[in-house]
């Protein structure tokens, strides 16, 4: 039977039997297992090469399941779930006693999200439980935004990859911590910070460094979302200098830019990134994967704009970059 399909019945059978299924979400594809089966969740960690203390997000159908997984749920959580679920928002809450250390990394907190992708939403409604589902890629590598990306990572080692087409958001969910006195932005993502702050009528604390966050959450390591080809990032002027230097040395250089420019000296191939943050986010991982196939010795990426609308993009670029220029 084909690894890639849209067979929800087979997906349910596999998940209930403790097997892995790759699922589409509006953000990125996830590698899913029944969050109530620690042995099944352990298969995620083994296949990804993920550290055992790195928590995973539990995906649920909607806010009606919040109390199955979390306790002492503040009013802010209900308001955020009502406004942004299903959608690209993960809430960090105190876990119920029965929630396994396998999904929490041994912490007293759990991350919960109700994804908006119609195929996975239908799966979750039928599953009537929670799916632990980090991104469906080797730990630290560029996240997948198509079923083909997942297959390129794992092949037939994943029994089933549900094909939901290209992800429409393209970067991971926003993570908001709700276990302290003040809600905090732990990871920028698909839901803009400003939309959350407008809803709550307050400014979110923002822990830009993982070491300053009170809890460990997905995707906050300094190096993450990274292509295997070295990715160097800087302003266009610095990119131009580096492209010329490396081209003169005989290296194969790819330049990824958003500013209008002619082909740079020394560049083997130039690629224009979108000029709008939503489109840029949607294309970022797919572009990095496309240029990470061994055709180039180095990828040079022009630094994205630094305005608030680009917060999630800049977070992912910062963690994917191996060296800053300029």
Q: For the residues 279-294, what does the mean pLDDT come to? A: 95
Final residue before a domain boundary, out of 155, 177, 212: 212
State whether 202 and 244 are in the same domain: no
Whole-model pTM: value is 0.94
Residues 197 and 239 in one domain: no
- Check whether residue 289 and residue 317 sit in a common domain: yes
What beta strand segments (E) does the chain contain?
Answer: 4-5, 21-23, 30-34, 57-59, 70-71, 89-95, 109-113, 131-132, 160-162, 174-177, 184-187, 205-206, 231-234, 253-257, 269-272, 298-302, 323-324
Range of the domain at 44: 4-212
114 and 243 in a single domain? The answer is no
Domains of the chain: total? 2
3-state secondary structure (DSSP) of residue 187: strand
Same domain, 89 and 195: yes
The whole-angstrom separation of Cα 126 and Cα 157 is: 25
List pLDDT tens digits, range 22-53.
999 999 999 999 999 999 999 999 999 988 88
What CATH number does residue 281 fall under? 3.40.50
Q: What is the pLDDT of residue 2?
A: 78
User: Looking at residue 182, which CATH number applies to its domain?
Assistant: 3.90.870.10
177: left (phi > 0), else alpha (psi -120 to 50), else beta?
Answer: beta
Closest among 128, 109, 13, 134 to 61, alpha carbons compared: 128
DSSP 64: G
Do 17 and 89 fall into the same domain?
yes
In 3D space, the residue among 17, 16, 21 whose CA is nearest the CA of residue 5 turns out to be: 21
Task: Indicate whether 147 belongs to any domain.
Answer: yes
Same domain, 179 and 112: yes
Residues 189 and 89 in one domain: yes
pLDDT reading at 67 higher than 50: yes
Q: What is the pLDDT of residues 184-219, one digit of tens each?
A: 999 999 999 999 999 999 999 886 654 445 566 655
Shared domain check, 173 and 26: yes
């Amino acid at each position: 039977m084909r690894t890639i399909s849209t067979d929800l019945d087979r997906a349910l059978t596999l998940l209930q039997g403790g097997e892995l299924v790759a699922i589409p979400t509006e953000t990125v594809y996830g590698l899913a297992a029944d969050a109530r089966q620690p042995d099944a969740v352990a298969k995620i960690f083994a296949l990804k090469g993920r550290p055992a203390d790195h928590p995973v997000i539990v995906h649920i159908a909607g806010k009606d399941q919040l109390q199955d997984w979390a306790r002492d749920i503040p009013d802010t959580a209900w308001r955020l779930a009502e406004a942004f679920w299903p959608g690209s928002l993960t809430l960090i809450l105190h876990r119920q006693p029965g929630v396994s250390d396998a999904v929490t990394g041994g912490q007293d907190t759990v991350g919960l999200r109700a994804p908006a992708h119609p195929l996975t939403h239908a799966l979750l409604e039928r599953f009537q439980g929670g799916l632990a589902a980090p991104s469906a890629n080797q730990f630290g590598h560029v996240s997948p935004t198509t079923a083909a990306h997942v297959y390129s990572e794992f092949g037939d080692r994943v029994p089933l990859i549900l094909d939901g087409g290209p992800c429409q958001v393209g970067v991971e969910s926003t993570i908001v911590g709700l276990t302290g006195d003040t809600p905090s932005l732990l990871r920028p993502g698909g839901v803009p910070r400003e939309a959350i702050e407008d809803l709550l009528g307050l400014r979110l604390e923002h822990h830009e460094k993982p070491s300053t966050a009170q809890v460990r959450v997905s995707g906050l390591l300094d190096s993450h979302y990274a292509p295997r080809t070295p990715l160097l990032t800087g302003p266009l002027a610095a990119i131009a200098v580096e492209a010329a230097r490396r081209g003169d040395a005989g290296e194969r250089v790819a330049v990824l830019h958003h500013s209008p420019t002619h082909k740079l000296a020394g560049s083997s191939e130039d690629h224009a990134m979108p000029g709008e943050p939503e489109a840029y986010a949607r294309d970022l991982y797919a572009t990095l994967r496309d240029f990470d196939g061994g055709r180039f010795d180095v990828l040079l990426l022009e630094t994205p704009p630094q305005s608030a609308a680009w917060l999630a993009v800049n977070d992912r670029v910062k963690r994917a970059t191996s060296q800053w220029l300029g």
